[in-house]
Chains A and B, each alone.
Chain A
């Protein structure tokens, strides 16, 4: 019989935890409080100190540390051993490039249920229910898993990140787990930064200026790039604009593209179909500009303006530039 503990796998980048891990940690804390379990972070890294502190400040009661270099194959093996020893109920993993491989591999090792790319999770007496978008985000699927352990993955920006509790602390447990050589069959040779992909890395953007069908053309996006540059933000797009070929697929925001949670999102000429809206709803402030007063995006925007984006966008750029001097 396993306990009610909820684990969050911490993926680190230069010693710092990825934002999605902190988002999941806060969610895990809320879930654990509701089900008399403990929220724990699992950190596999030679230098876990900074991530460990962040885990506690974002809600971890306990941090499990394995001082080793992270790779999905070894991490899946370590998770299998840790889960065998501590029997968590749930393991939450970020749906990042490595996180997806880790989650799939770990669920094969543990022979356990998995719900991937979820937007929510609910724990009840009869089981755990995972909500994930389906049919291009037009409907949600409710997936039930009864047996522990189980794995759920979440994209960045699904849960709102609240202020961490500075100085909060908890219990640290170190485990030494040796990974047999036969487990490591894949090798990461290196990472090459890319300007295009850096521009399209909107998941981490603080400010996003997004364009939809209303932008009208590839050239029409020019004014959005200008506004984004003035604000120090990034450009994103709705699926309609991507399908029109006005901007690359890496810029697509929505449940079928990238989910984002910037401090400020400004959508121009975006009608606000559900898949897109579900990909932006955790943004702190949503602004929408559209000529159609009935555009559904106005139903979710904090501030809406019914007007021509070709007038508003340059005027806003001018104003921002003036203010920033």
Chain B
């Protein structure tokens, strides 16, 4: 079985400083890491390979620094890795990114299962899995919090409002994984050695040959601005708690708030 996991290098969002005067962001010195949910996608991919036999390949799109997350994946048991990069890929929105990933899958696949994190902590769109699955024309299982391997494919549970939905699809499929789905394994000593030896193949658009129209991003980031301040309300004196509660309840009752 050929299994793919998609990985993303993200900034440590809490370390990003915001200039309050000019509303610019300062990413200098901000740490980078593997997107947290992606670890669970790797685990799901490895689990499938352990159960059904086969190898796991990892793909990331990003600058050279993102090779470290591919090596991290290799230390856990991922056998092959590709990094997608090209000037033409810069600033890709979710549609362009899914198009590029689809081209990389066509070039290196086909795969029986594609795993990825449910969403990234920097973009938080969660758009890629269902877009990619639609482009690939395969089953789409998103936001898995439990994954069961069946004879023909996967069955997942996911949180939906007041309960859990159970969904199933046959291979080939795309499955996005939340942090509830599993407990990621730790790297082994052998894995650490393998990760150093991992050969990462770089795929640019000369290799992928995506037409310019395909990687054009229909959405563009225009700019950043601070959320607007909200209106100020009324203060109730708190020195006498009983009186404060009485006044609050009266005000709430006037507006039939409960």
Contact = CB atoms under 8 A, between A and B. Distances in A.
A105 B130 contact: yes
B219 A115 contact: yes
A270 interface: no
B248 A303 contact: yes
8 contacts: A109-B134, A114-B127, A150-B219, A192-B163, A203-B161, A284-B255, A311-B241, A319-B245
Given A139-B227, A188-B165, A197-B163, A116 B127 contact: yes
Nearest to A308: B241
Interface stretch (B48-56, B59-67, B76-84, B140-148): B140-148
A61 interface: no
Interface in B199-258: 217-227, 229-239, 241-242, 244-246, 248-249, 251-253, 255, 257-258
B25 A139 contact: yes
B131 A104 contact: yes
Q: Which of A105, A185, A191, A193 has the most CB of B within 10 A?
A: A185
A53 to B, nearest CB: 23
Contacts of B218: 111-113, 145-147, 150
Given A97-B159, A139-B227, A147-B218, A304 B236 contact: yes
A316 B163 contact: no
Task: Sort chain A's interface into a size bin.
Answer: 35 or more
Contact of A316 (B138, B219, B232, B245): B245
B95 A303 contact: no
B258 A307 contact: no
B252 A285 contact: yes
Interface stretch (A30-38, A157-165, A169-177, A273-281): A273-281
A133 B18 CA distance: 14
B258 A264 contact: yes
B108 to A, nearest CB: 20
Contact of A190 (B166, B173, B242, B258): B166
A97 B140 CA distance: 13
Nearest to A147: B218
Interface stretch (A44-52, A81-89, A213-221, A294-302): A294-302
Interface of A: 72-73, 76, 96-98, 100-101, 103-105, 107-109, 111-117, 129-130, 133-147, 150, 182, 185-194, 197-198, 201, 203-204, 207, 231-233, 250, 256, 263-264, 274, 277-278, 281, 284-287, 289, 298-308, 311-312, 315-316, 319-320, 323
Contacts of A144: 219-222
Contacts of A299: 229-230, 232
B133 interface: yes
B137 interface: yes
A142 B222 contact: yes
A306 B140 contact: no
Contacts of A304: 233-236
A305 B248 contact: yes
Interface string B88-103: 0000011100100000
Given A97-B165, A302-B234, A316-B245, 6 more contacts: A72-B130, A114-B219, A116-B94, A187-B169, A264-B258, A302-B233
Contact of B244 (A141, A264, A277, A312): A312
B241 A116 contact: no
Nearest to B180: A249
Nearest to A272: B230
A315 B245 contact: yes
Interface in B90-138: 93-95, 98, 124-135, 137-138
B219 A143 contact: yes
B39 to A, nearest CB: 17
A76 B134 contact: yes
A197 B159 contact: yes
A117 B94 CA distance: 13
Nearest to B159: A197
Nearest to B118: A100
A137 B159 CA distance: 23
Contacts of B141: 186
Q: Which of B168, B217, B223, B253 has the most CB of A within 10 A?
A: B223
Interface string B24-45: 0100000000000000000000
B233 to A, nearest CB: 4
Contacts of A233: 258
B155 interface: yes
B60 to A, nearest CB: 20
B224 A141 contact: yes
Given A192-B164, A315-B241, A135 B252 contact: no
Contacts of A135: 13, 16, 18, 25
B95 A139 contact: no
B139 to A, nearest CB: 4
B131 to A, nearest CB: 4
Contact of A189 (B131, B166, B241, B246): B166
A188 B166 contact: yes
B175 to A, nearest CB: 10
B160 interface: yes
Given A112-B95, A140-B225, A142-B224, A315 B242 contact: yes
Contact of A137 (B135, B227, B238): B227
